[in-house]
Amino acid sequence: MNTIKIVGLTGSLRKASYNKGALEAAQTLVPQGAELEILDLSAIPFFNQDLEGGELPAAVTEFKEKIAQADALLIATPEYNYSIPPVLKNALDWASRDKSAPLAGKPTALFSVSSSQLGGARVQYHLRQFGVALNLKLLNRPEVFIGMAGEKFDENGNLLDEETKKRLTVLLNALVNLVKEGK
């Protein structure tokens, strides 16, 4: 079997983002036979339907190609005011408009990291609802909410907490199994 390509997305552009740090940790935890590439969403402009008439911005085209080529998505998101950060929603809105429907049926796992105790529980349910519109093949279990991030990451966003690494490993294994089930 070819290497399973997982693409990692995060709704945080912060340099020392906990969510980005968790994705970087996940890169070292992916099961054998899989790889995780983290995408940078910072260059993707606001969605504007007027732009769809002509050549799309390069960052949008590149993003959609990466999504299309991926076997699976791993979304790591902060919770902004109980909901989805605009950077993440915007990128996925762009991809949702492609006629080839690169998101449809895509095996996807998600987790959230938050500085508060709930660990982003509310954004996950908004994201799951959004996932229905996108027709993602979302993994239901395990649910991974990483709260009190300030105690689990250093000031540069590096994940230190061993228990969190274990939970991410279980999530990654479940995602890879979901991909394999569909092959």
Ligand X SMILES: Cc1cc2nc3c(=O)[nH]c(=O)nc-3n(C[C@H](O)[C@H](O)[C@H](O)COP(=O)(O)O)c2cc1C
Q: Which residues bind ligand X (CB under 6 A)?
A: 12, 14, 17-19, 78-82, 113-116, 118, 120, 149
Q: How many CA atoms lie within 13 A of 140 on its CB side?
A: 1
Nearer to ligand X, 49 or 81 (CB): 81
Q: Is the CB of 75 or the CB of 113 nearer to ligand X?
A: 113
- Which residue, 114 or 164, has its beta carbon nearer to ligand X? 114
Q: Minimal CA–CA distance to 42: which of 91, 1, 106? A: 91
Which of 79, 98 has the CB closer to ligand X? 79
Please state the closest distance from residue 157 (CB atom) to ligand X, in A: 7
Compute the least distance from the CB of residue 14 to ligand X, in Å. 4
Smallest gap from residue 91 Cβ to ligand X (A): 15
Q: CB of residue 40 vs ligand X: minimum separation in angstroms?
A: 14
Closest CB 75 distance from ligand X, rounded Å:
12
Nearer to ligand X, 102 or 120 (CB): 120
